[in-house]
Amino acid sequence: MVNKLWGGRFQKDMDEAADTFNASISFDARLYAQDIEGSMAHCRMLAKQDIINEEEATQILEGLMEIKREMDRGELQIDEDHEDIHSLVEKTLVEKIGPVGEKLHTGRSRNDQVSLDVRLYTRETIHRVTDLVKEMQKALVDLADKNIDLIFPAYTHMQRAQPVLVAHHLLAYYEMLKRDRQRFRENLLRVNILPLGSAAVAGSTFDLDRNMVAEDLGFDAISENSMDAVSDRDFVIEFISASSILMMHLSRLCEELIIWSTQEFGFLILPDAFCTGSSIMPQKKNPDLPELIRGKTGRVYGHLMALLTTMKGLPLSYNKDMQEDKEALFDTIDTVEQSLSVMSRLLAEITFHGERMQKAAEEGFLDATDLADYLVGKGMTFRKAHEVVGKMVLFAADQGKELNQLILDEMRDFSRQIEQDVYDWLDPTSCVKRRNLPGGTGPEQVKRSLEKAKKELES
């Protein structure tokens, strides 16, 4: 068998179409740095265990470092002649230093090697993604801080509900992203397990020092079962799952930015640098970037479902189906990193229409719950107060008025417990200030939340 690491048992070359279909070099080439890093650690361990001698180890390590430099500079051609990145690195090493390069694969298989590479790559990615999430959290905190006094309607069922501070709304997304960072950090605990030494499926007959390799590569522990180690892609599924939840949060925010930027709402202006125009309608300013992030969320969901479906029927241990993990993982990583980067930059340039938002908070009976609370304070049960205020809302709507536009006598027709002080309860600013409890939208509480968020981001 020509040019295959596993060709000794075969008499005929692989079918050309099947060879192309089987190859993964077109996408797993991005693992070259991790593959070389893992190979160097494996080589140092082989020398320490006297499985290869020091001179052989030195030759192999120098050859791998040279290959790494060439690949960093883009000088080493990556083409379909190589089945995967592991084959490319090994064949190039043998070409550089001769048969001694063939000793590098002693005590390992591509099965544990690829798991190692993907774990190293995912570990690096988690650090980058959590940093990007943190940058977006900073952008949200900055935007909230700049607009700390703005009031606008909170919505339930897409109907105006109660007045809140815009900063309180933005900090809701800060909390979502905080959970996202926690999920990725928890994912890291299960990523950072060394599979190398599991070999193909049963472990190795060589006296490998797996703990040495784990320490060399910065892993917290070694895998406990060789069959599990080579067939485990839970950590990839978990990463894509955490990414899907993160993208869901980005999509929800994008949906709100899109809605708020419409003329019907008019709550904010999206920066020109993150919008596009129409090829036929000169007046258009389209929120393409938030729309794209919203759309790419479905793309990440698709990768999660694809990999879950791929893995659900696989017997132990390694199966070629598992090659499908990489394109799903890599595309998820690219999508998440780009989306986070764009969102942070977009948030930094948003401008709110404060007057329009305030006016919206003053219309639509957003003070109805406060009026019910007022009546409770006068001794009425909440259920009764709810009924009375509902009737008042119906009456006011028929009159084309807001609750605070009703005269006192009109209000007292519904309850004699209503006094002149009721009007203090029907001002949106007062409605917001009154919710001064932990987690509420009261200005003092929101300022405390902002300060807490700033400290969390500094730590």
Element containing residue 362 per DSSP (H, E): none
Contact between 182 and 384 under an 8 Å Cβ cutoff? The reply is no
| Residue 408 CB-half CA count within 13 A | 9
- The whole-angstrom separation of Cα 398 and Cα 173 is 38
- The whole-angstrom separation of Cα 229 and Cα 222 is 9
Burial of 170 (0-12, 13-18, 19+ CB in 10 A): buried
Q: What is the DSSP letter of 440?
A: S
- The whole-angstrom separation of Cα 297 and Cα 355 is 33
First to last CA, the chain: 57
Per the DSSP assignment, residues forming a β-bridge with 154 are 162
Show which residues are catalytic. 157, 278
Question: If DSSP codes are grouped into helix, strand and coil, which group holds residue 156?
Answer: strand
Q: What is the DSSP letter of 268?
A: E
CA-wise closest residue to 368 among 431, 434, 435? 431
- Cα 194 to chain centroid distance, Å, stands at 24
- The whole-angstrom separation of Cα 72 and Cα 201 is 32
CA-wise closest residue to 187 among 222, 237, 228, 226? 237
Mapping DSSP onto H, E and C, the string for 167-195 reads HHHHHHHHHHHHHHHHHHHHHHHHHCEEC
Residue 15: count of CB within 10 angstroms of its CB: 10
Question: If DSSP codes are grouped into helix, strand and coil, which group holds residue 30?
Answer: helix
Ramachandran quadrant class, 379 (left: phi over 0; alpha: psi -120 to 50; beta: rest): left
- Prior bond of 244 cis (ω within 30°): no
CA-wise closest residue to 388 among 432, 422, 434? 422
Contact between 267 and 356 under an 8 Å Cβ cutoff? The reply is yes
Question: If DSSP codes are grouped into helix, strand and coil, which group holds residue 162?
Answer: strand
- Cβ within 8 Å of residue 360, ≥6 positions away: 152, 153, 160, 265, 267
Q: What is the DSSP letter of 351?
A: E
